Copies of this chain bind each other. A is one copy, B any other.
Amino acid sequence: MSDRQMKWWGWGAEGEYLDVSDKPYLWSFVEQVTGVSENSPKTPLPDVEKIDFPPQTLNRAYLTAIARDLRADQIKTDKMERLIHAYGKSFRDLLRMRLGIVEAAPDCVVYAESESDVEAAVKLAVEHDVVLIPFGGGSNIAGSLEVRGANGRMVVSLDMKRMDKVLEVDQNSFTARIQAGVLGPHMEEQLNAQGVTLGHFPDSFVYSTLGGWLATRSAGMQSDKYGKIEDMVLSLRMVTPIGTIVSRTVPKCSNGIEVNRVCIGSEGILGVITEAVMQVHKLPDCRASYGYLFPTFESGAAAIYECVKCECRPVVTRFSDLGKTALSFAFKRRPKGLKGIMTKAVMAYLKLKRFDQEKVCLMIATFEGDRKMYNYTRKRVNAIYRKHGAVNLGTSPGRAHERTKYDFPHIRDLCLDYHVMADVSETSTVWSNLLPLYYETMKSLREALSAVADPYFLGCHISHTYHTGASLYFTFGCRMQKGREIEQYLFIKKAVQDSFMRCGATLSHHHAVGVEHLPWVAADVSPTGLKAVGALKSGIDPNGVMNPGKIIPSESPLKDWGLSEESIANFRGASR
């Protein structure tokens, strides 16, 4: 049994790396926005031997009991397993691994292969007072996977990746019953073999699981058509300390408070989702991604909004501001032959149309459906974009986007090789607040970044659109200050999250609360809303064995988060 794990210190499988050799514009861009050049000294990769590892707590009674229910190769206690399951892949996680900081790690990893394995793991955790942390692909970037509040108890990471089957496809109903531990590509393979797709493609797709998507309320790139993950669920099964929640496979119902929704977004604090019946779609007959250039961010935003008004939207609308557009162009491959000529022709055309090449913003729009729907949507959207001043670049940027769309997490590793920070924060808001939120958050980020770095990178893109609003996805990066990496990072992260809250947006559109967003959750869902979540936690997990310390903040969330008032004052002082 091969358990497809990511490398413990970075994104992707061992040996997997981002090939930048075919990207001739990249390094000059990186140098411009971070001051780091291709020839700057590289930080050595972390050495597992040098990791200062926390001591292991082994609950012998639990281990004996679980060994009765599971095979030996399902229970692991070695250092590498502990390391792989210690963190998710947030920037702070990657940074700590690079710095050799492992504050806590699970003491044991249990690989579930069936729902009854999960039942055993949960039941025994309650019986023996052992902490259980469900673990899917390990791609979470909100700290949902790390050890908190163990208080001397043994901690078990329950790895779900062996539960990786599409159990049943009902092609007439467009539903599929899928095990929670399946990774994105393996799931789509199984679905595609039966002519259907889930339509859920988050940036983390290659290394994230259905269970993880459900537990964190994930959104994929094509959510404009397919919805967020919570919109695709017909029924699910979740093993909890007080029994297994099982809902019925129906499209919609009215049976009191919806129990599916109690499980979705619960980030492992109530139980372990083992499988779900999901809505699927037949594979589209036609599909293509196009690139467009807009003269300004505002004109592109207006075009997107007009598509919403006409109720005629692409399945992907990904619109970058200046900064993000520049980043996209930096990742271009060298155009060859006809393509090179085409590029030059486009540039000439843009000049003719008085586009300011320093100010253009890139839109990627994907269309799909049967021939009629595809044509209807593409023509109508094209006309709307044109009206707002767009230049259609054809399918070449679209193909580039398709080829590189899962690359972003790899870039963070490349940056860390050169001691450069790179991270994201995303949110959503209603249309009337979209540009105000964008301006205000950009301002806050500029202030924070300039207080800790010079130069820096900052950009944003609109990643998901809805009838009532859209999400904004901010990306930032800069050279790190040696010895102050984490506080520098948190200083920036706080600026962006504070801005979201101040502007009436949400702490995250699709990245979960975990521990990274605990300081903002009370403001987001209201103190009484948090008490409702707390009521579920006390009622369903009275012994507090399920993933403690997530979603529900402590009394001093900002302090626990790790940024002291002194650090804030220091950075602010330095910027004056």
Q: Name A's B-contacting residues (CB within 8 A).
A: 170, 172-175, 216-219, 228, 230, 234, 240, 242-259, 261-262, 264-267, 270, 279, 281-282, 308-312, 369-370, 372-373, 376, 380, 427-433, 464, 466-471, 504-513, 517, 521, 524-529, 531-536, 538-540, 551
Interface pair A248/B506, CB less than 8 Å apart: yes
A255–B249 alpha-carbon span in the complex (Å): 25
Partner of A373, one of B311, B372, B468, B513: B311
- Smallest CB gap from A428: residue in B: B250
Interface pair A370/B252, CB less than 8 Å apart: no
Least Cβ–Cβ distance between A428 and chain B, in angstroms: 5
A249–B310 alpha-carbon span in the complex (Å): 23
Contacts of A433 in B (CB 8 A): 173
Interface pair B527/A532, CB less than 8 Å apart: no
Interface pair B309/A282, CB less than 8 Å apart: yes
Given A265-B257, A309-B282, A508-B255, the answer on whether A250 and B430 have CB atoms closer than 8 Å is yes
Contacts of A376 in B (CB 8 A): 376
Given A258-B217, A373-B310, the answer on whether A251 and B532 have CB atoms closer than 8 Å is no
Least Cβ–Cβ distance between A141 and chain B, in angstroms: 11
Interface pair A506/B255, CB less than 8 Å apart: yes
- Smallest CB gap from A249: residue in B: B430
Interface pair B173/A469, CB less than 8 Å apart: yes
Interface pair A256/B536, CB less than 8 Å apart: no
Contacts of A249 in B (CB 8 A): 430, 504
Contacts of A380 in B (CB 8 A): 372
Interface pair B251/A428, CB less than 8 Å apart: yes
Given A254-B265, A254-B509, A551-B256, the answer on whether A532 and B526 have CB atoms closer than 8 Å is no
Given A174-B467, A534-B539, the answer on whether A526 and B245 have CB atoms closer than 8 Å is yes
A536–B537 alpha-carbon span in the complex (Å): 9
- Smallest CB gap from A466: residue in B: B251
Can you pick out 30 interface pairs between chain A and chain B where the beta carbons lie within 8 Å of each other?
Answer: A173-B431, A174-B467, A174-B468, A234-B430, A244-B528, A245-B525, A245-B528, A248-B506, A250-B504, A250-B506, A251-B466, A251-B470, A252-B428, A252-B466, A253-B506, A254-B265, A254-B511, A255-B521, A256-B513, A256-B525, A256-B533, A257-B265, A257-B533, A257-B551, A259-B526, A262-B529, A310-B370, A532-B536, A532-B539, A535-B539
CB-based closest 5 A-B pairs: A535-B539, A243-B528, A173-B430, A261-B261, A259-B529
Interface pair A468/B507, CB less than 8 Å apart: no
Least Cβ–Cβ distance between A123 and chain B, in angstroms: 13
Interface pair B540/A532, CB less than 8 Å apart: yes
A540–B534 alpha-carbon span in the complex (Å): 10
Least Cβ–Cβ distance between A287 and chain B, in angstroms: 14
Partner of A432, one of B173, B217, B311, B504: B173
A267–B256 alpha-carbon span in the complex (Å): 7
